[in-house]
Amino acid sequence: MKTTSLSLPLAALFCLAIGPATLAQTAPNSVLFTPNVDLSSGAQNGFVGTVGGIFLTTYSYYPQVNWLGYYDQNGDGLANSHVVTLWDNSTQTIVASATVPAGTAAPLVNGYRWTPLPSTLTLNYGSYYVIGAHTDGVDNWGDLISTTSPDNGNSGQITWSDQYVQLGSGWEFTRAGRYDSEGNYPGEPPNQSGSDAIYPVANLGFDIAVVPEPSSLCVLCLGGGLWGLLRKRER
């Protein structure tokens, strides 16, 4: 019987065509966006409702998400807990949701308090998603930030991550701020503001490296010291 097989170069091209997710993985410490401005020193928004933005995922591969975050203006903890939600815009259904707790229990990284998802979520490539957070008029947040065209990912007040969004000139229209009144949740916020913009109250990321805050480190050190003292006494 005659058998045929793909050459190695052709097989590699075939894999590239059918399996982008198997070839490109989301890098640790990736976040949807990083503000290029000090949000705490600018205008603070006290809108009560659901606030965030819409974005188009990259066409390069399937982005991964396992953390959701809420902005902490002064880094001193949140007065209240806040639900952060991610919607699939094509179906307008919730694909992930988590509550960022009040106080300083949630780790603070790059100005955001983060809470992990129960499991890693893989987004579709080249698809629209909407991220939003419940706002309460107490834990206020930096107002709408945007970039300028042509945008390569960081030409303005935001650095967008190419791990999540489709960058390059011509794709600016795929990102905008979104908001809605409090009573319409769990519906996706439909009202839109700006171009290549976002209300920076909510964020998302993958495998964020969490470093204990100084107060937590003190507790750990105290606990370790007491444990060592007890061990010494036992001996």
The pLDDT tens digits of the residues spanning 164-173 come to 999 999 999 9
Query: Rounded to the nearest 5°, which phi and psi values hold at 89?
Result: -65, -25
Report whether 92 contacts 184 (CB < 8 A). no
Rg (CA), the chain: 21
The contacts of residue 124 (CB under 8 Å, 6+ apart) are: 57, 62, 88
pLDDT in tens, 30-44: 999 999 999 998 889
SS3 157: coil
Share of residues in the chain with pLDDT > 70 (%): 80
DSSP secondary structure letter of residue 189: P
pLDDT at 153: 84
Mean pLDDT of 130-142: 96
Q: What is the residue whose two structure tokens read 């060592």?
A: 228
**For range 145-163, the mean pLDDT:** 92
Q: How far apart are CA 78 and CA 143, in angstroms?
A: 17
The mean per-residue pLDDT over the stretch 60-67 comes to 95
Is residue 75 predicted with pLDDT exceeding 70?
Answer: yes
* Average model confidence (pLDDT) across the chain: 85
Residue 16 has pLDDT above 90, yes or no: no
Nearest to 173 by CA among 150, 148, 200, 195: 195
pLDDT score of 193:
97
The predicted pLDDT at position 213 comes to 54
pLDDT given at position 24: 72
Q: Select from 136, 142, 141, 96 the least CA-distant residue to 119.
A: 96
Phi, psi of 214 (to 5 degrees): -50, -40
| pLDDT attached to residue 228 | 53
Domain 30-228 carries which CATH code? 2.60.120
CA distance 105 to 182: 25
- Residue 25 scores a pLDDT above 70: yes
Residue type, 103: G
Dihedral sign from CA coordinates of 156, 158, 161, 162: negative
Cβ atoms 102, 79 nearer than 8 A:
yes
Is the Cβ–Cβ distance between 52 and 128 less than 8 Å? no
Residues 6 or more apart in contact with residue 110 via CB below 8 angstroms? 31, 34
Please give the sequence-ordered ranges of beta strands (E in DSSP) within the chain, or none if there are none: 30-31, 33-35, 44-45, 48-56, 64-71, 82-88, 93-100, 108-109, 112-122, 128-136, 141-142, 145-146, 158-160, 176-181, 191-193, 197-198, 202-206
Q: What is the mean pLDDT of residues 93-109?
A: 98
